[in-house]
Amino acid sequence: MMILIKPYCAKNMLRKKLCVQDTNEEAKGKLIVNVFGEGPPEPLSNAIVKVSRVTVSGYYSDTGEGTLLHQLFTDKDGKTPVVELPILNELMPINRDFYFITVYHPDHYNAYVLYTEIYQNITTNLNVTLKSLDTDNENFHFIIQPRRSQIMK
C-alpha cells in the first residue's frame, strides 16, 4: 500500500493573506476611550484624554516627534466622544508611527497608553483604569499595548 503525502499543502495554506487592509492614508477608523476609577469600576467624568500621533525617525528609531490630534473630555459614563483617526497599526509594513494617548483626572494618577492601533472601518474601544492619588507613591501609570510582532514570536 502506498500513501501519497502532499508536503506543500500546509505551507501553501499559510501563504494566503490573512488580512487585507487599505494602506491609503485616507482610510479611517474610530476610537472611543472609556475611563474608570480603580476598584469596583466606576466611570470618571470630566477626565481629559489627549490623542497624539508619534512619528518615529532616525536610523535606529531613536528620535520621535509627537503631534496632538485631539483633546477630549469624558461624559458622566466615562466615555469620550467617538473620534475618527487615520488607520495606524502593525499591518502597515513601512510605518513606524504610533498613537499615544494620555489620560488625566484631578483625583487620580495620569495614565499613558502607547501603541494604540486603529484599523480600517473598526471602532477601537480602549478601557483605561486610573489609580487614586492616595494608593501609593506612583506619579503616573504606563499602559504599553503589546505589539503583534511581540505576541506572534
Return the pLDDT at 60: 80
Rounded to whole angstroms, the Cα distance separating 117 from 79 reads: 18
What pLDDT digit, counting tens, does each position of 91-114 carry? 776 777 889 999 999 988 899 998
CA 116 to chain centre: 1
Report yes or no: 130 and 115 within 8 Å, Cβ to Cβ. Answer: no
- pTM value? 0.74
Q: Work out the end-to-end distance of the chain between its first and last CA atoms, rounded to an integer number of angstroms.
A: 40
Name the one residue in this structure whose C-alpha cell is 478601557.
127
C-alpha cell at position 152: 506572534
pLDDT by residue for the chain (153 residues), tens digit each?
A: 454 443 433 333 333 344 445 556 678 999 999 999 888 889 999 999 999 999 888 888 778 899 999 999 999 999 999 999 999 887 776 777 889 999 999 988 899 998 888 989 999 999 999 888 876 666 666 676 665 554 444
Cα distances (angstroms) measured from residue 21 to each of 12, 118, 125, 132: 21, 11, 19, 40
Q: Is 115 helix (H, G, I), strand (E, B) or coil?
A: strand
Return the pLDDT at 4: 44
